[in-house]
Amino acid sequence: MTSAVVSAANKPASTPQENASPEKFRLMLMMALTLVTGVVDAVGYLGLDHVFTGNMTGNVVILAMALAGAENLPVLGPLVALGAFLLGAAVAGFTLQSSPKGWNRRVTLLLTGGCIALTGAAAISLTVDDIGRQSIGVIVAAVISMHMGSQALMARHLGVRDMTTVVITSTMTSLAGESLVGKERPRLLNRRLGAVLAMFAGAAIGVLLLQIHFSVPISLGVAITAVVTVLGSRRWH
């Protein structure tokens, strides 16, 4: 008993920086996945006939306008993307429902499956010219959207505050209504602003890489997701 007390007394106290480092690490991983969402949404909207593969709010609006008679707006693509996103979220929810909060093997499995799905989408684009104008483009959009639905549910399971990885509307609301005028500055201001900038940067990068080839931005998404998977499985805890 005495030795345990002495050992505890002699143990150097952890600094605030050491206590914060795991949180910062987790935050950076979620920022990386948010950037991937921006990339694949740029791919979907510009390369797959105005289909959002990560932001389902956009698909709901586009689908509603198309059904209401607006011209030159797709119906099938947004509808399939919505269904695929829901399916991906449902599969992830079923997979994680009995797991404790935080990173575990099932999270690693889901992200690995996402890497495989994105790799398949990139591979298809290498064999099909002008994929956005082909019917197989709807399948590619569905594959990407299914992974993004899984990623969104996984992000909720991991529970990093303000890091949904697929939606920033609520984050911007908190940024304006709480971080800028409330008492949660500056830490949550940096976090929320960072999420917005990550999505913005991802979309911009996606546009630039699309000029090289359709498969390039998707391949970047694969690489980033793979890195997050490896780092998260090793260091999340």
pTM here is: 0.85
d(CA 9, CA 80): 61
> Chunked in runs of 10, what are the mean pLDDT values of the chain (237 residues)?
45 46 91 96 94 94 93 92 97 94 94 96 91 88 97 94 85 72 60 89 97 96 97 90
DSSP structure class, residue 103: -
- The helix (H) or strand (E) run that includes residue 201 is helix 187-210
Residue given tokens 């201001």 in the structure block? 189
Please, is 172 exposed, middle or buried when counting C-beta atoms within 10 Å of its C-beta (0-12, 13-18, 19+)? middle
The model's pLDDT over 157-206, given as tens digits with 9 standing for 90+, comes to 998 888 899 988 777 777 777 666 656 555 555 778 888 999 999 999 99
Structural domains of the chain, with CATH: 21-235 (1.20.1250)
31-42: b (≥16 Cβ within 10 Å) or e: bbbbbbbbbbbb
The whole-angstrom distance between residue 56's C-alpha and the CA centroid of its chain comes to 12
Instruction: Give the contacts of 158 (CB within 8 A, at least 6 positions apart).
Output: 26, 30, 101, 102, 103, 107
